[in-house]
Amino acid sequence: MDLDAVRAALKAEGLDAWLFCNFKHRDALSDAIVGIEAGVTNTRWWFLVVPAEGEPTRIVNGVEPGILDRVPGARRVYSGREALARELSAFRGLKVGAHWSETVSAVSYLDHGTALLLEASGLELRGAESLVQRLLGTLDIEGIESHEASARKLYSIVDTVWAEISERFRTGSPVTEREVQRRILSLFDGLGLECDHPPIVAAGPNAGDPHYEPGDTSRTFEPGDVVQLDLWAKARGKGAIYADISWLGVFGTEAPPRVAKAFADLLAARDGALAFIKERLAAGMPPSGAEVDERARSLLIGSGHEAALRHRLGHGIDTECHGSGANLDSVEFPDRRLLVEGSCFSIEPGIYFEDFGLRTEIDVYIRDGLAVVSGGTPQTRLLLCR
């Protein structure tokens, strides 16, 4: 457990302490940050209070007194609920970060009953979403380099795969979604990449499903089909950082006017969101994820696409593709966390119709107060089979 990083996060957020606790490994965040492995017996509540100043306090049950032995600090052993309440009351009046949030469900592990016990013991609970972001959801220089390396490989894979798709079109050879998906996975393997889920390859009406997965009825590309390529991966090994991009093409030599217009509107929203981030950073006022989503959403609504919107603008990226940092989200799980130094996130506006869908995605990180697009030159025109 990196106590210095925990204390730095607490000081940055103006909180007195961070409370970690678990029962039957329900709280994956607490286990991950404290360093409790899934195989450790956890049939009784344990609590760990890490203050912004001073040593941690471990509160453990007499049945499992050694569960936090790897963590330094005082150990307090309890046997019943009243004794537990007395131990917790030692922190009465402290503003304590706890794993709950009104809107960011990814950090909401604390159950209501335990929250009531903590509050009855005098702790002032605060949501820990910003603490989690600072500890797990921001990248240092090494993390940025890992992310950039993966992003460059993804860009090269798109080039390779689209060249092969184009060749199939020119020769009249059939190509299926499943076949292209497997080809991307083989390229991942050859470049030392891994992913938590296969990439999305969707053609025609299937591109209108944001999380489409080729199944037994994998579509054979037809002339004029919109083709969505959405791929995410990271290098093999501990601590590697994901990259996540989406590119769009048409299985043909030209784009239908309706598709071209929708794509242009999508680019305007993506680039408008990036420009907004840069403007706010230049003014010394980092925007929240929700504010960026609101900006892109307003541009798409202004272009007449309100009914075609189905998801937020983007998500945090770190060792997980959908990471612990701020999401660009004002509607699903509204995220008011700021895009602080080291933040890494996707910008991926999408619009979806019955006969096709479009999503363009770039990754951006904040370094030295600047918003940097990773991997290469973002897509600015539809891929065509020429």
Q: Residue 31 in contact with residue 66, Cβ under 8 Å?
A: no
pLDDT of residue 249: 98
Q: Torsions phi, psi of 329, nearest 5?
A: -150, 120
pLDDT digits (tens, 9 = 90+) for 29-76: 999 999 999 999 999 999 999 999 999 999 999 999 999 999 999 999
Cβ proximity of 205 and 355 under 8 Å: yes
Instruction: For residues 377 and 386, give the distance between their C-alpha atoms in angstroms, rounded to a whole number.
Output: 20
Query: Residue 257 corresponds to which tokens in the numbers above?
Result: 């006017």
- Encode pLDDT of 268-308 as tens digits: 999 999 999 999 999 999 999 999 999 999 999 999 999 99
Mean pLDDT of 160-166: 98
C-beta of residue 187 within 8 angstroms of C-beta of residue 162: no
pLDDT at 214: 86
User: Residue 386: which pLDDT band, with cuts at 50, 70 and 90?
Assistant: confident
Q: How far apart are CA 131 and CA 138, in angstroms?
A: 11
Which fold is adopted by the domain 3-135? Creatine Amidinohydrolase; Chain A, domain 1 (3.40.350)
Cα–Cα nearest to 136, from 26, 270, 18: 18
| pLDDT > 90? residue 233 | yes
Query: Could you give the maximum distance between any two Cα atoms of the chain, in Å?
Result: 77
> Does the pLDDT at position 365 exceed 90?
yes
Q: Is the pLDDT of residue 111 over 90?
A: yes
The pLDDT value given to residue 326? 96
Name the one residue in this structure whose structure tokens are 């994956």: 28
Give the type of residue at 243: A
CA 355/CA 206 separation, integer angstroms: 8
24 neighbors 11 (Cβ within 8 angstroms)? no
What number is the average pLDDT over the span 215-225? 91
Main-chain phi, psi angles of 132, to 5 degrees: -60, -40
Q: What proportions of the chain, in percent to the nearest 5, are helix, strand and coil?
A: 35, 20, 40
- pLDDT at 217 > cutoff 90: no
How far apart are the C-alpha atoms of 321 and 351, rounded to whole Å?
Answer: 21
Answer whether residue 216 shows pLDDT above 80: no
pLDDT of residue 203: 98
Please state, in angstroms and rounded to a whole number, the distance separating the CA atoms of residues 180 and 170. Answer: 16
Domain boundaries, the chain: 3-135, 137-373
Give per-residue burial for 179-198: e unless 16+ CB within 10 Å, then b: bbbebbbebbeebebebeeb
Give the pLDDT confidence score for residue 129 in this predicted structure. 95
pLDDT tops 90 at residue 229? yes
In this prediction, what percent of the chain has a pLDDT beyond 70?
Answer: 100
Region 112-132: mean pLDDT is 96
Domain 137-373 homologous superfamily, CATH: Creatinase/methionine aminopeptidase superfamily (3.90.230.10)
Provide the pLDDT for residue 293: 98
- The 3-state DSSP class for residue 347 equals strand
Confidence of residue 215 (pLDDT cuts 50, 70, 90): confident
Mean pLDDT of the chain: 96
Given a cut of 90, whether residue 207 has pLDDT beyond it is yes
- pLDDT at site 145: 98
Average pLDDT over residues 215-243: 95
Q: Give yes or no for a contact between 234 and 320, defined as CB atoms under 8 angstroms apart.
A: no
The average pLDDT across 185-192 equals 98
Q: Are 88 and 59 in contact (CB under 8 A)?
A: yes
Q: Which burial class, exposed, middle or buried, applies to 85 when counting CB atoms under 10 A from its CB (0-12, 13-18, 19+)?
A: middle
Q: Which residue stretches of the chain are H helix?
A: 3-13, 28-34, 81-88, 112-120, 129-136, 141-171, 177-190, 257-282, 289-302
Neighbouring C-beta atoms of residue 112, cutoff 10 Å: 8
- Judge contact between 30 and 6, C-beta under 8 A: no
Residue 101: per-residue pLDDT: 92
